[in-house]
Amino acid sequence: MPGRSHPASAVARAIADAGSEAMDIMLDVRSQIAIPHVIDEPLHRFGRLDILVNSAGTQVYKPALEITAEEFDDVLDINLRGAFLCAQAVAPIMREQARGCIVNVSSQHGVVGNRMRAPSNGRDTGSA
């Protein structure tokens, strides 16, 4: 998001300050069409892809009986399906390179339920 600082930007700057190269990229993981284009950026810049960190996440904070199907789908599309699509897109590249790492970031809600975050409970179990 323009004008908004993101933790990944700070990590990329710290890596650069330490003398290495890094790139942080923001992506709407719901866009299956955009994913391959975004993956091309580091491949063109560095010639390889070493790591994917799936950290996109959202939640709906209200009782489960009040959550709409659209809200539920949005949580799963961003938090679970998006991680799958990104991993699926980079895996062939990493396999060809014979190296690479995929990190899926989740929350405690896959293990410890919360009645106000029902979609996150199931999504985190799926991505853990």
Return the structure tokens found at 6.
Answer: 């993101």
Residues 6+ apart with CB under 8 A from 3: none
- pLDDT given at position 58: 87
Average of per-residue pLDDT across 1-6: 54
* E-only strand ranges, 1-128: 51-54, 101-104
35-68 per-position pLDDT tens digit: 999 999 989 999 999 999 888 888 888 888 899 9
Range of the domain at 35: 7-127
- pLDDT given at position 3: 47
Return the structure tokens found at 8.
Answer: 């990944």
82-124 per-position pLDDT tens digit: 999 999 999 999 999 999 999 998 876 656 656 665 555 554 5
Whole-prediction pTM: 0.75
- pLDDT given at position 70: 95
Q: Reduced to 3 states, what is the DSSP secondary structure of residue 36?
A: helix
Using alpha carbons, select from 20, 25, 119 the residue that is nearest to residue 79.
119
Residue 25 lies inside a defined structural domain of this protein: yes
Residue 84 lies inside a defined structural domain of this protein: yes
Structural domain tally of the chain? 1
Rg (CA), the chain: 16
Amino acid sitting at position 24:
D
Residue 32 lies inside a defined structural domain of this protein: yes
* E-only strand ranges, 70-126: 101-104
Q: Which residue has the higher pLDDT, 96 or 9?
A: 96
* Domain of residue 23, CATH code: 3.40.50.720
Residue 2 lies inside a defined structural domain of this protein: no
- pLDDT given at position 96: 96
- pLDDT given at position 1: 41
Considering only the C-alpha atoms of the chain, give the largest distance between any 2 of them, rounded to a whole number of Å: 51
How far lies 61's CA from each of 4, 71, 86, 119, in Å?
23, 10, 26, 9
Residue 86 lies inside a defined structural domain of this protein: yes
User: Treating both helix axes as pointing N-terminal to C-terminal, what angle do 82-97 and 34-46 enclose, rounded to 10 degrees?
Assistant: 30
- pLDDT given at position 2: 46
Rounded CA separation 93/42 (Å): 12
